[in-house]
Amino acid sequence: MKTPPISRRGLGLGVAAAGLASAAQAAVVNPPPALAHVFDLAVEVGPAQELGEVGGGRRRVIPITGGSLTGPGLSGEVLPGGADWQTIRPDGVTLLQARYTVRMSDGATIGIINTGVRRADAEVVRRLTAGEDVDPSLYYFRATPVFEVGPGPYLWLTESVFVSAGARRPRRVELGVFKVA
């Protein structure tokens, strides 16, 4: 049997397939980044301020009233005055954006903007918004904190990407913060 000639189109598909295979190999050469625990936050919160239906979801503002930051060689106090702005969508996804300030034990002040997602089924959402203590394994709660820091010993917080895993308790939010290596 005679092998048919390769058309330009067939050659192009072969080159494209080789490119995809090369990209897949590159992913193996560059493994996914590791996470390193940096600190924990216990953010105390007040009663929700309900704004009603806004932009496709139920809008709430949760005042931040205090709390603590603890980690290896790190400690600080979450200052009152921040807030967590939430949009609770009908599909069980809550969009979060919290802004708050931490005064470190050495007196330095750090601003934190923590944007994330909490996802759960309807019953868990109902229990969380009612202020019940719900097992964190029953919902997904992840965020990406960004730090506002002046010159000094905490500038390193502005030089990497961080992620947080959270738990919503009746009167506080608990966050483990991790540096993406």
Above 80 in pLDDT, residue 167? Answer: yes
pLDDT for res 19: 53
pLDDT tens digits for range 89-146 = 999 899 999 999 999 999 999 999 999 999 999 899 889 888 899 999 999 999 999 9
User: Where does the pLDDT of residue 160 fall: very low under 50, low under 70, confident under 90, or very high at 90 and above?
Assistant: very high
pLDDT for res 25: 58
13 three-state secondary structure: helix
- Higher per-residue pLDDT: 56 or 155: 155
- In angstroms, the first-to-last Cα distance of the chain is 56
Strands of the chain (E only): list them.
35-45, 49-54, 57-71, 74-88, 93-104, 109-119, 140-148, 162-168, 172-180
Assign residue 29 a region (left: φ > 0; alpha: ψ between -120 and 50; beta: otherwise). Answer: alpha
The CATH number assigned to the domain with range 35-180 reads 2.40.160.20
Nearest to 57 by CA among 8, 93, 81: 93
pLDDT for res 29: 66
The predicted model scores a pTM of 0.81
pLDDT for res 3: 46
Length of the chain measured in residues = 181
pLDDT tens digits for range 7-54 = 444 444 444 455 555 555 555 668 889 999 999 999 999 999 999 998
Provide the b/e sequence for 14-32 (b: ≥16 CB within 10 Å): eeeeeeeeeeeeeeeeeee
pLDDT for res 7: 47
Pairwise CA distance, residues 160 & 98, whole Å: 19
